Amino acid sequence: MARKTVERNISYDDQRKIYYVSMDLGKDKEGKRIKRYQTYRTLYAARQGLRGFLTHREEELRTPKHDMTLGDWLESWMETIVRPTRAETTVYGYQKIIDNHLAPALGDIPLLKLTPMDIQQYYIQVQQNANLSGNTLRRHHDLLSSALRSAVRQDKLLVSPMDRVEPPRAKQKEASYYRPEELKRLFTLVEGHPLELCVKMAGSLGLRREEICGLKWECVDYQRQLLYIKEARTAFGATIVQKETKTRSSVRTLFLPDDVARLLHMEQARQMELYRSGKLKEISQFVVLDHKGYPYSPNALSLAFTRFVKKNNLPRVTLHGLRHSFATVASFQGVPLFDIGKALGHATPATTGKIYTHLVDHTHEETLMKVSDALK
């Protein structure tokens, strides 16, 4: 039998009229090469067979081989990737989702055997058993997507099963807010109350509660009538931290209305007097203090406002709802959505429009009425 090499890994037997493809399967336990031969009738078929084998072998070589579970990977991901690079509040939120939901439900599944259907079934079960909203489930989805993308980058997975998972549908919450006349009534009722400054910074400037609690005196410029929003005071669990604002776009400079400037002056003078009388051990760097002279926690400030609203029989709106009220009043005054978003510290006008759909509806109403009037 005369067999002659035609191409690398391909030879031809001119007596049998067939092509042989030599396939390298690696080495055995003793270190000897393992080869397998496949025959084909045509050179084209031989080339196709060799190409298919090489492609399959490349995929085999690239395919991760380990016995790590999803729970093992999530623990490693949190320790090596999330904790060193993310804010404490993000770490806390992720850990709660993992400990309370992901680890008990999916943690024992081998990472290499985790399927899109496993995750899809998880969404259904956790929604039914824990009665979680679509918005909360979307956070689970985002966490898993980020963790498994990292697993691919770290060569723990060839592809992420999340690429074929249908994400939970998040529902945009309808913003609760006061209309202009309701906000005026609130401002009247809160005059002289310890919450007056906080209420007016939220309702007149659109500040988040975390920004109010994190505001320092060094960020108040009376001479230029400016307020610099750079930090936020955030709570996670029982821990409160002072950190940068929510996003880069949240860092902003706001004009200080006379009424708010007057209240700031009064509060600074009050704190100075408390310090002189010994009721404050040291001069605070924070603008807003609770009744004990400590910087307010966001949750405590929200609770104090909720109690004030209930006591005065006002429509039920949260402290964050005053931020929405600011946007509503601005829209009623004809301020463009773009400018409202800038004042609120939104990254894009799309973010503003997504949150404040009622503003867009209001604009549509005005537009349609103007057209209707023109056609009468």
Distance (Å, whole) CA 265 – CA 247: 29
The token pair that represents 272 in the structure block? 């100075």
Distance (Å, whole) CA 148 – CA 162: 7
**DSSP letter at 285?**
S
Neighbours of 210 (CB within 10 A): 23
The answer to whether 118 and 106 are in contact (CB under 8 A) is: yes
Start and end residues for every CATH 1.10.443.10 domain found in the chain: 180-367
| Domain over 70-164 is classified CATH 3.40.50.300 | no
The token pair that represents 18 in the structure block? 């067939």
Q: Cα separations (Å) of 110 from 49, 57, 150, 350? A: 33, 23, 16, 40
The answer to whether 111 and 69 are in contact (CB under 8 A) is: yes
Q: Which residues of 96-125 are buried (b: 16+ CB within 10 A; e: fewer)?
A: ebbeebbbebbbebebbebeeeebeebbee
Distance (Å, whole) CA 314 – CA 316: 6
pLDDT for residue 236: 77
Q: Which residue's entry shows tokens 């004990």?
A: 292
Helix 196-205 with 180-189: angle, nearest 10 deg: 160
Helix 298-311 with 196-205: angle, nearest 10 deg: 100
Q: Which residue's entry shows tokens 């009043």?
A: 329
Q: Which residue's entry shows tokens 């259907």?
A: 117
Residue 36: beta bridge partners? Answer: 23
What does 63-88 look like in DSSP terms, one character per residue?
Answer: S-----BHHHHHHHHIIIIIHHHS-H
Q: Cβ contacts of residue 64 below 8 Å, gap of 6+? A: 112, 155, 156, 157, 158
The answer to whether 232 and 247 are in contact (CB under 8 A) is: no
Distance (Å, whole) CA 357 – CA 176: 11
The answer to whether 327 and 206 are in contact (CB under 8 A) is: yes
The token pair that represents 171 in the structure block? 């529902």
- At residue 92, what is the residue type? Y
pLDDT in tens, the chain (376 residues): 578 888 888 989 888 889 998 888 777 777 788 788 889 999 999 999 989 888 877 776 666 788 899 999 999 999 999 999 888 888 999 999 999 999 999 999 999 999 999 999 999 999 888 888 888 899 999 999 999 999 999 989 989 999 999 998 877 666 688 989 999 999 999 999 999 999 999 999 999 999 999 999 999 999 999 999 999 998 877 778 888 876 677 889 999 999 999 999 999 999 999 999 998 889 999 999 999 999 999 999 999 999 999 999 999 999 999 998 998 888 888 888 788 888 888 877 666 666 665 555 555 555 545 555 655 5
Closest alpha carbon to 127 in 90, 148, 101: 101
The answer to whether 186 and 328 are in contact (CB under 8 A) is: no
Start and end residues for every CATH 1.10.150.130 domain found in the chain: 70-164
Q: Cβ contacts of residue 225 below 8 Å, gap of 6+? A: 255, 256, 261
Provide the CATH topology of domain 180-367: hpI Integrase; Chain A (1.10.443)
